[in-house]
Structure 1
Amino acid sequence: MKSQDEVLSDWLHTLVQAFEISDIEIDADAILSLAAVAAHRVVRPAAPLTTFVAGLAAGLAAGHGESTADLAIRSAIDMARALAEAESGEPA
């Protein structure tokens, strides 16, 4: 039986192959850490939403030539993480 890390690694490989982006380094730990911060500091459903928006922002920045893919990804993760860490999770 595969470990969770092996399953995630295999899934990431499947995704990058399917989207034809295997030349881009994906830091799964950074993305999972971002999801955890969003889930705990905002609300649980913020995890997938936060990672999606960060990925979209990174893709747009790289696609418009504003940054390399690696730098765009790192910048988007850092910004989303800072915003999530600043949240209290309490409704206004």
Structure 2
Amino acid sequence: MTRSAILDRAAQVLDARAETYGPAAASFTAVAARWSLTLGRTITPAEVVLCMIDLKMVRFAHDPHHRDSLVDVIGYAALLPEVQS
């Protein structure tokens, strides 16, 4: 798969998720609020994105040929500027 194809696939996934779940910033803000309660400290939406990237990196390390994990890492990284304050 070429880099252009991987980037195009990541963009398609982001568009599909936005259509299904709404704006990424709102979703990550909601997750941050829940994780803040669970962990007993304030979690930011940007920290949620970074943790999701870490999760996907663990999965990608387990199977470096699993393209969905690579696409997800790229997608989360692309969303990081949207949630940074």
- TM-score normalised by length of structure 2: 0.38
Higher relative contact order (CA 8 A, sep 6+): 2
Greater fraction helix? 2
- TM-score normalised by length of structure 1: 0.36
Greater Rg over alpha carbons, structure:
1
